[in-house]
Structures are given as C-alpha cells and as structure tokens.
A and B are shown apart, each in its own frame.
Chain A
C-alpha cells in the first residue's frame, strides 16, 4: 500500500512491517535530500504531486514489482511538501526470500518511480535562485 506523507517517513515502522518469517531479506532504499545540485549549493527542497494520480502510479509500481520479481512485498512511501536537507524524501522497501531479487526489485522500483509518477522536486539555492529539477516527460 503506497503512501504520500507530509511528515518524516516512519522508517522503523516500514522495516518492522517488511520483516517477515518467510523472508530472509529486506532491502530498504532511501532517497535523501542533498545539499548540492550540479555544483550549486541547495538550501531547501520541496516536492509537489498530482496526488491521486501519483498514489495510483505508486500502487501500480508496487504491484508490478511484486509480480515481476521473486519477492514477497514492495512498499513505497514518498514525502511531499518541504523536506529538510539530509532527510528521506522517498523510501522503497522490499521483502523477499533471498537477497538478489530484493536488491533487483528495489532498484527497478526506484528507476520506474523517477519516470512514471507525477511528482516534482523544487530546489531553492543558497545563492537565492530556485528551480524545478529537470525531469522526465511522462509517457
């Protein structure tokens, strides 16, 4: 069940939910907010989404991920609004019997998320400017 949240991502809860007796592997990927973009100092970031469409797209990704890899579960949480530097903006958690499929599935889910989900990142720069991060056209 995918989530869009406006508070820090509850990583402990995600990991607890993902850890199961029938799985020998849990992979957690966190995308965290970074203080530089192409050499320019970033002072702050915010995310915006077309929320119902983004949530549906994330749930489709979770389903396709679970069907396409030998895994037990995939959950994705994306944070919206202002996200302080060095905090998680996105979490992908995969549970699987074995680690190889869990790593592959988490990597695939993040790759697809970046091109299929209507979410936008806006960066404010330390020197005063701001910009929407160059993205990928939805197809």
Chain B
C-alpha cells in the first residue's frame, strides 16, 4: 500500500498573527504539491481567528515574499507577516 506523499513545513507567526493563533510556530504536514494558499487554508481551519487578518498579511517562504499560488517544498519555512511598523 502506498501512502500519499506529503511535505512538511514550519510556519512562523508574528505580531497579531501570533497573538490570534496563540502560537509563534507550528508544523504542518500537507499533501505533496501543496501551495501557500493550501497551507493558509489549513492554518485558518485550525485557528479561525486568523481569517480576518488574511487580506492584510504578507507571506514569506524561506524569507522571500511570495504570492499565494507559490509552491511549497518539504522543509520550507513559511512566515505570516502582518503590516510592519518598525522605527
């Protein structure tokens, strides 16, 4: 019996995203071929409080800003970045 292939990513949550989800770091196992939008969907199902933040978030994969349709690979680090306010 073949198990469906999966990929595992680490999710980092900052500022409002971290507070709403109640965690700064999470591991997700997703079907192979998953994209950023799939990961966000799983996160929002675990943490519904994140949904209203979605339109305000920038997403980085391995420290590069990406679009929702960017593909994910195993070992990737996906970061949820609310609007920034340094200075």
Contact = CB atoms under 8 A, between A and B. Distances in A.
A43 to B, nearest CB: 18
A137 B86 contact: no
A119 B58 contact: no
Interface size class of B (residues with CB under 8 A): 10 to 19
B81 interface: yes
B84 A135 contact: yes
Q: Is the interface of A mostly helix, strand, loop or mixed?
A: mixed
Nearest to A53: B63
Which has the most chain A C-beta neighbours within 10 Å: B15, B16, B81, B85?
B85
A49 interface: yes
Interface in A15-62: 31, 47-50, 52-54, 56
Interface of B: 12, 14-16, 56-58, 60, 63, 65, 79, 81-87
